Amino acid sequence: MADKARRWQRKRVFVTGATGLLGSALVSELVSQGAEVTCLIRDWVPSSRLILTNAAARTNVVGGDLLDPALLVRIINEYEIETVFHLGAQTIVGTASRSPVSTFDSNIRGTWNLLEACRLNPRLVQRIVIASSDKAYGIHEHLPYTEDAPLQGRFPYDVSKSCADLIALSYFHTYRMPVAVTRCGNLWGPGDLNYNRLIPGTIRSALLDESPIIRSDGTFRRDYFYVRDAVGAYLTLAEQMTAKALSGEAFNFGNEQPVTVLEVVDTILRVMGKSSLKPVILNEASDEIPDQYLDCAKARRILDWKPDHSFEAGLLETIPWYRERLEADAAPSPASAGSPAAVPS
């Protein structure tokens, strides 16, 4: 354990998407292991775990955008970055469908801007881990997805991840850059405040004694991947990239236990003692793939990796976080608490 805790000590790491669910958790873990982390933050998000836990105060925070290539070059040069975790993206399927151009800008152009900045600094950058997604595979008749399945996204978000994934691997094949790609299942866990997503929305509804909302017909199957396990997967891959010559490789990471939307909701309600609540099924989801789940045998075989948390174990860590968050949101602010403040005469 002591050896593991020293692996990132004084390592200079650049994380994009640091205010997101995975980014916040990854930065916190890197900081706890003594890494010198630089975060690119486009929008200051006070409710992000990166901010709430004060992890941002222990990093170099650079304000800016993936669409600014000169800024990315400056960051890598001035902070002498050795390892890059590229998590920055527009990650909401519905947002991508409403605004495909901005999604393509963030997810595709942002990726090649970052890779170009790394290409211009080959003496510094030793490892680049690019976040793709299981969505990059698109619709396939035969499941689970394996890493050699074609990338054939159809809808805007899926296409953006297919393209970013292919672009990342092209930088390895063309320029022999130290790039590896992760394709994860649906991430969830403490820190996700997008209540339009299934798990945060269901937990909040249960805490408020409201019926949870299901946008689809409830039969869609997914591989739900706990955020702490995702952090472990990213760090494991990055730690082994050089020793095992893993540049140019893609790895699936997930629980390999696909469940339907209704099964997820039922489990959350049961664990929270709210089984009397019945979900409202809207059956209005569009531009989504019905079934998506992963084969992670390659990660087990090559990286000796496996997730540490069952779905229910993750829930037992996640539900209290949302309860505390909702209580904090509902609490009166200091300015409004108690009797009205006296007005100076």
Give domain status of residue 30, yes or no: yes
Give domain status of residue 270, yes or no: no
What are residue 214's DSSP bridge partners? 281
Tokens 């209290």 belong to residue: 320
Confidence of residue 7 (pLDDT cuts 50, 70, 90): confident
Backbone dihedral angles phi then psi of residue 248, each to the nearest 5 degrees: 85, 5
Distances, alpha carbon 213 to alpha carbons 191, 195, 206, 279, 283, in Å: 20, 10, 11, 6, 10
- 345 has a pLDDT exceeding 60: no
Tokens coding 238: 């990055």
The pLDDT assigned to 333 comes to 63
| Measured distance CA(84)–CA(66) in Å, rounded | 13
Overall domain count for the chain: 1
The pLDDT assigned to 111 comes to 98
Q: Between β-strands 36-41 and 280-281, what pairing exists: parallel, antiparallel or unpaired?
A: unpaired
Tokens coding 250: 């893609």
Boundaries of domain holding 31 = 8-193+225-255+291-308
| Measured distance CA(211)–CA(276) in Å, rounded | 9
| pLDDT tens digits, one per residue of 43-58 | 988 889 999 899 999 9
Range in 85-94, 102-111, 144-153 with the lowest mean pLDDT = 85-94
Cβ-contact 27, 17 below 8 angstroms: no
Give domain status of residue 41, yes or no: yes
| Measured distance CA(246)–CA(241) in Å, rounded | 5
Give domain status of residue 99, yes or no: yes
| pLDDT tens digits, one per residue of 209-260 | 999 999 999 999 999 999 999 999 999 999 999 889 999 999 999 999 999 9
Cβ-contact 30, 13 below 8 angstroms: yes
Give domain status of residue 271, yes or no: no
The angle, 0 to 180 degrees and rounded to 10, between the axes of the packed helices 227-240 and 21-32 is 60
| Measured distance CA(56)–CA(48) in Å, rounded | 10
Instruction: Share the mean pLDDT of the chain.
Output: 93
Give domain status of residue 232, yes or no: yes
Tokens 């299981």 belong to residue: 134
In the predicted model, what is the mean pLDDT of residues 138-144?
A: 94
Confidence of residue 341 (pLDDT cuts 50, 70, 90): very low
- Domain of residue 52, CATH code: 3.40.50.720
Give domain status of residue 318, yes or no: no
| pLDDT tens digits, one per residue of 42-100 | 998 888 999 989 999 999 999 999 999 999 999 999 999 999 999 999 988 888 899 99
Residue 144: is the preceding peptide bond cis (ω within 30°)?
A: yes
Catalytic residues: 157
What is the per-residue burial (b if ≥16 Cβ within 10 Å, else e) of 56-70? Answer: bebbebbeebbebbe
Give domain status of residue 58, yes or no: yes
The pLDDT assigned to 290 comes to 87
